[in-house]
Amino acid sequence: MKKVRKLIDVDTAVLKILDKEAKKQKRSLKSLMEYTIEETARKLESPSAAYKTMMDDMLNKLDEGRLEFSSIDDIKSKYGL
């Protein structure tokens, strides 16, 4: 993976917290920050296993004709909107 340098501004209190956590994990602050950013990006990039399972279930129900839909008017009436 190609790396890019970015200059960011971080509150000193946040840096202290991250530095403390980095020391607990026996790693550098830079390493912890890079790891945290990469992990967050991975989580944002692809849906979770639970979400994929839920969507597969919904698509199966749709294919089998077991999925029920409600009109917007029914929903508004149900929730008093």
Q: Is the pLDDT of residue 65 over 80?
A: yes
2 within a domain of the structure (yes/no): no
pTM, full prediction: 0.57
Handedness of CA 38, 39, 41, 47 (dihedral sign): positive
End-to-end alpha carbon distance in the chain: 50
- Averaged pLDDT, 50-78: 93
Domain that holds residue 36: 12-78
Number of domains into which the chain is organized: 1
Predicted pLDDT at 48: 83
Q: Quick one: pLDDT at residue 73? A: 94
pLDDT at 31 over 80: yes
